[in-house]
Amino acid sequence: MVAPLALKPRTETTHLTTESLVTELAQIARNSCALDREEFMGDMVAVAVAVRNARNRFIKALAITYLRYA
């Protein structure tokens, strides 16, 4: 599913190879937490987590985005 994507640079930290993106996706799956380290937009960082119900099923995501130098 990742291979057909055209990975275009948006910032200096954007993933540009399928390998780096797949590595990060695997880390997200292990940690249940995702970080955006200025990959989409310079000076913007974010964290997101999966919210699960009592049966451990995904029900929603919670994300916080902020500017590093506001």
Query: What pLDDT does 70 receive?
Result: 64
Query: Domain for residue 25, yes or no?
Result: yes
Written as one letter, the residue type at 39 is: E
CA atoms within 13 A on the CB side of 66: 5
Whole-number average pLDDT of the chain: 91
Query: Domain for residue 13, yes or no?
Result: no
Query: Domain for residue 40, yes or no?
Result: yes
Query: Domain for residue 22, yes or no?
Result: yes
Query: Domain for residue 44, yes or no?
Result: yes
pTM of the complete model: 0.76
Query: What pLDDT does 30 receive?
Result: 92
Per-residue pLDDT reduced to its tens digit, 38-61: 999 999 999 999 999 999 999 999
Query: Domain for residue 4, yes or no?
Result: no
**28 close to 12: Cβ distance less than 8 angstroms:** no
How many domains would you assign to the chain?
1
Structure confidence at residue 1 as a pLDDT band (50, 70, 90): low
**40 close to 15: Cβ distance less than 8 angstroms:** no
User: What whole-number distance in Å separates Cα of residue 66 and Cα of residue 70?
Assistant: 8
